Structure 1
């Protein structure tokens, strides 16, 4: 017999499935994060985003800088300066993704 899930059960099931997929990606050395309700990959040309800074920059343009700032707590001028000067491999970008976008770093 087939049981129909409630909306809440379906949401929970989807979240658990995405978290399991995210863990599997991490085991393969692929970092990931959530872009809205979608799981995206971060790490190289075969991924959705080349690096964590690429992901952050895209979020800023997609959300708008003011929405990004309200989500993350950045000072606007400091964020603009860091975007212009801080290397793409700096942990500051990874930290934002892990802290505010459900990110998970791949096991390298």
Structure 2
């Protein structure tokens, strides 16, 4: 079923008022913090794994272990986001998402190691 569009006085369809879908509220005050935080979370989880998988596809295991530290070049993304005035708010929440993800992963890893060594 096609969406009804407003018509002008002479009966032509008015296409000048193209609207976003109703659920897409970019002007909402929570949109930027949520999208930045979850983008940072996904970035922190996906980029190292994807980088390692691509390296492993093309190189031997020894070369992959030598080249894997170059994934740190990806940290230029949040630095650029925070440095630019227009993307600074998004970038700060992006960094917050990355830091929160790293803290949770390291905290859980430390707890698991502690539990494994304490019960042994």
TM value normalised by structure 1: 0.26
Q: Which one has the largest radius of gyration?
A: 2
Instruction: Say which structure is richer in strand.
Output: 1
TM value normalised by structure 2: 0.25
Instruction: Say which structure is richer in helix.
Output: 2
Higher RCO (C-alpha 8 Å, min separation 6) = 1
